[in-house]
Chain A
């Protein structure tokens, strides 16, 4: 099977040759579709994985083990966290539960794994802090 995933590299993990590793260790054919990873700042990469389902699963587990966040290509939503006021207005439209705000800290949380890319938040946020990923 072929699966496209998004890798979110945190700043400290970019040194590891993950892509090379998954090719060697799991015999997964990889095809980097887009990459925007800067030396010490981390970044994002869209990768196509081709292998049987079990191997893909193992490869993804391995990548996550390296401290890299993996999300499926379904979650193409980008949230501008720096300008967010944590008002919570967007959570009312997010029926998939990807956007949540609750006690104790009442700060907005975005879980890309739950996002179904319905785009309702693009309109719901009064500060227009959501956009579609250029990767999508």
Chain B
């Protein structure tokens, strides 16, 4: 018995859809076959709350009188893009003022979502139509026209585990890595993670409605560095980082419980983003995909102390146990993304769907089926 999006949405409208979180369905799958799950479950909610550096916001400030063509822009002293027409900007999550590296674009985005005002200062050369050369004023979400969170690469499908074999501490985007294999950090939400529950992106595509930082947002495109060429393990899970999604949503509807500016020591600013993706159980194949369990999701261990060499593999059940073994070393593991908050997101999304407040969307275009990534050649 296969189901269509329309049939599932009809059930959602009537308040009759059966919705489970990905953790609940993985537990159910211990005793039920994909066929039974297909008959019983309509939608599975997945989620993640982790550091996603490739994020940002599109803002439109409105025109002042007399108007200015903003060519150099600072928000709370942080330089942001001056390359988008007269009064648009893009605040990159990792934008920062090198003099004060602990506060950056991600913090500005969080401050705005928290309702705070931010100091805008901008300069232009002055033109016939935009005579003004300088402006300094307070702005907030209320004073602006658009404020759209727009993230080019989020929700990585799987990610490597980081360790450090060298004899000095490494400060990285995978956290503080202590010398001589003293710790290992991992960042994926495992069996709850969105793209691990739909590894080929059969249901996640352009236009998919999602939970984004507390609001209803959308998948807008394949994320940057989208990669389908990673080897699959025997459960069909890509090893290491592969597919990604680009997402967008209205900042005024967001909540900083699910979006945080962060600073990794000696690395820089990044942003924690909460994303929840609903997966329709269209057929037995999807039922089998969402049944994936932590012990079946494997990933590579990379040595950040030695040129990112791949030095082993492990799985999320082992990582979640608090200790993994690697070449005779027992290594203490620590997560980087919040499972507790990801669970909260999966539950909220489940509630929205159960109450009929959130309908599923069929992708208007699927994700690319075959993509590998290039590295940067130096040719000058």
Q: Which residues of A pack against B, CB within 8 Å?
A: 85-89, 91-93, 95, 101-103, 105-107, 120, 123-124, 126-128
Give the Cβ gap from B322 to chain A, nearest Cβ, in Å: 6
Q: Is B183 on the interface with A (CB-CB < 8 A)?
A: yes
B248-262 vs A: 1/0 string, CB under 8 Å?
A: 000000000000101
A85 and B176: CB pair below 8 A? no
Q: Is B334 on the interface with A (CB-CB < 8 A)?
A: yes
A85-B341, A92-B176, A106-B340 given; 16 more Cβ-contact pairs under 8 Å = A85-B260, A85-B338, A87-B335, A88-B334, A92-B175, A92-B184, A93-B178, A93-B183, A106-B338, A106-B339, A120-B176, A123-B176, A124-B265, A126-B263, A126-B264, A127-B260
Contacts of A128 in B (CB 8 A): 102, 263
Give the Cβ gap from A135 to chain B, nearest Cβ, in Å: 25
Give the Cβ gap from B347 to chain A, nearest Cβ, in Å: 13
From A87, A88, A124, B176 is in contact (CB under 8 Å) with A124
* 8 A-B pairs closest in CB distance: A92-B334, A126-B262, A86-B340, A88-B335, A106-B339, A92-B183, A87-B338, A123-B265
From A88, A93, A102, A120, B338 is in contact (CB under 8 Å) with A88
Contacts of B333 in A (CB 8 A): 92
Complex CA distance for A89 and B335, rounded to whole angstroms = 6
Complex CA distance for A120 and B337, rounded to whole angstroms = 19
Give the Cβ gap from A24 to chain B, nearest Cβ, in Å: 45
Give the Cβ gap from B262 to chain A, nearest Cβ, in Å: 4
Give the Cβ gap from B87 to chain A, nearest Cβ, in Å: 32
B295-337 vs A: 1/0 string, CB under 8 Å?
A: 0000000000000000000000000101000000000111111
Complex CA distance for A117 and B260, rounded to whole angstroms = 26
Complex CA distance for A120 and B334, rounded to whole angstroms = 15
Complex CA distance for A89 and B175, rounded to whole angstroms = 7
Complex CA distance for A127 and B322, rounded to whole angstroms = 22
From B51, B335, B340, A105 is in contact (CB under 8 Å) with B340
B336 and A89: CB pair below 8 A? yes
Q: Is B182 on the interface with A (CB-CB < 8 A)?
A: yes
Contacts of B182 in A (CB 8 A): 95
Q: Is B46 on the interface with A (CB-CB < 8 A)?
A: no
Complex CA distance for A87 and B178, rounded to whole angstroms = 18
Q: Which residues of B pack against A, CB within 8 Å?
A: 49-51, 102, 175-178, 182-185, 260, 262-265, 270, 272, 320, 322, 332-341, 343
Complex CA distance for A126 and B171, rounded to whole angstroms = 12
A124 and B340: CB pair below 8 A? no
Highest count of chain B CB atoms <10 Å: which of A86, A106, A126, A128: A126
A89 and B334: CB pair below 8 A? yes
Complex CA distance for A87 and B185, rounded to whole angstroms = 11
Contacts of B50 in A (CB 8 A): 87
Contacts of B178 in A (CB 8 A): 92-93, 95
Give the Cβ gap from A114 to chain B, nearest Cβ, in Å: 14
B176 and A93: CB pair below 8 A? yes
Contacts of A120 in B (CB 8 A): 176
Contacts of A95 in B (CB 8 A): 178, 182, 332
Contacts of B49 in A (CB 8 A): 85, 87
A92 and B272: CB pair below 8 A? no
Q: Would you list 19 pairs from A and B whose C-beta atoms are within 8 A, ordered by A residue?
A: A85-B260, A85-B341, A86-B338, A87-B335, A87-B336, A88-B339, A89-B175, A89-B334, A92-B178, A92-B184, A95-B178, A105-B340, A106-B335, A106-B340, A106-B343, A124-B175, A126-B175, A126-B263, A128-B102
In the complex formed, the residue of A with least CB distance to B267 is: A126
In the complex formed, the residue of A with least CB distance to B177 is: A92
B322 and A126: CB pair below 8 A? no
Give the Cβ gap from A109 to chain B, nearest Cβ, in Å: 12
A87 and B272: CB pair below 8 A? yes
B260 and A107: CB pair below 8 A? no
Highest count of chain A CB atoms <10 Å: which of B176, B177, B264: B176
B334 and A85: CB pair below 8 A? no
A91 and B334: CB pair below 8 A? yes
- Known contacts A87-B335, A91-B334, A126-B263: A103-B320 contact under CB 8 Å: yes
Give the Cβ gap from B301 to chain A, nearest Cβ, in Å: 15
In the complex formed, the residue of B with least CB distance to A83 is: B260
Contacts of B337 in A (CB 8 A): 87
A101 and B272: CB pair below 8 A? no
Complex CA distance for A107 and B175, rounded to whole angstroms = 18
In the complex formed, the residue of B with least CB distance to A107 is: B340
Contacts of A103 in B (CB 8 A): 320
